[in-house]
Amino acid sequence: MQSYIKNYLALLNVQKTTSDYHYISELQQAHLTHFSFSSSNVLLKKPLSLEPAALFERLINQRLGGYCFEHNKIFYLALQALGYTVRPLLGRVMLNGDSSNGRSHRLTLLTLNEKQYVIDVGFGVACPRLLIDLQNKEIVNDQAFEYQLSQEYDYSTSYRLTQLSPEPAKVLYRFDLREVTEADCEIAHFYSHQHPQAAFVNNLVVARVTAKQRKLIRNLTYLIIDNASSQEVAIDIKTSKQLYQLCNEQFAVGLSVSEASELFGFLQDKQK
């Protein structure tokens, strides 16, 4: 495991020259830049073990992409190996507006200098590029993207994270600080990539978040969002070759030609 983490940190190429807070922030941003969110492995029905060696091999060495249970576990393991105090959390995704959704999103809780922060490197195109301070309820800016953390009414340790801009504002997820074990994450992960009604079993979502742009494939639409202005450009994906090129060149997700063809066929059938 030490060699996997050493290789991962070398790929991120972040030197610790300032505070722990800024070092971790830079690691978070480097991860988002280098490793894309992707549900392609779910649709291709690949085995998605969360065992650390398999996880690092799949996401970091082979660059096959992944989603929250994969990305956030890798980041958690790296911070743990660096000596930071971290533990996993589970949140309820709120993009459909339903606050009773199951806990299907993995996050990391960091305790640093007696303060607590939530870190996320696995929420697709809307993922914050910042540590979220649980004590700070002010609006946090990342260029045109604004986030705000609020506490749930009647619950002292329950929170919701809202993306205020670009408009329309939307609640991304809600979470609390109760104990979460790796077994809890395994159960939620199993639902997320195996249940016939799970979002990633039915949709292709590929995302990359960099300092200048946020890029998204949602089924057969490719979206480019400018971080500074939030202006969007949407492009239809019309061939499997185009899907293959986008995934490999724009998202650095290692799809084969045959896998791109299989995904494109699935998405075409979905549109009928």
Element (H, E) at 232: strand 232-236
Give residues with Cβ within 8 angstroms of 172, minimum separation 6.
93, 94, 95, 123, 126, 161, 162, 163
Other beta carbons within 10 angstroms of residue 179's beta carbon come to 8
What phi and psi, each to the nearest 5 degrees, are found at residue 47? Answer: -65, 130
What's the pLDDT score for residue 155? 65
Average pLDDT in the chain = 95
Whole-angstrom Cα distance, residue 146 to residue 164? 5
Q: How would you classify the pairing of strands 140-142 and 103-112?
A: unpaired
Q: What is the pLDDT of residues 7-17, one digit of tens each?
A: 999 999 999 88
Digit-coded pLDDT (tens) for 177-231: 999 999 999 999 999 999 999 999 999 999 999 999 999 999 999 999 999 999 9
Identify whether the C-beta of residue 69 lies closer than 8 Å to the C-beta of residue 185. yes
- What's the pLDDT score for residue 154? 66
pLDDT at 98: 87
Which whole-number Å values give the CA distances from 159 to 27, 132, 163, 229, in the listed order?
24, 11, 13, 28
Write down the pLDDT at residue 141.
92
| pTM for the model | 0.95
- Note the pLDDT of residue 156: 67
| Ranges of the chain with pLDDT below 50 | none
Would you identify the CATH topology of the domain 2-271?
A: Arylamine N-acetyltransferase fold (3.30.2140)
Residue showing tokens 């392609």:
40
β-strands 145-151, 140-142: how paired?
antiparallel
- Name the 3-class secondary structure at 138: coil
What is the DSSP code (8-state) at residue 21? H
Q: Give how far Cα 180 sits from Cα of 45, 81, 85, 186, Å.
A: 27, 19, 15, 11
Q: So where are the chain's domains?
A: 2-271
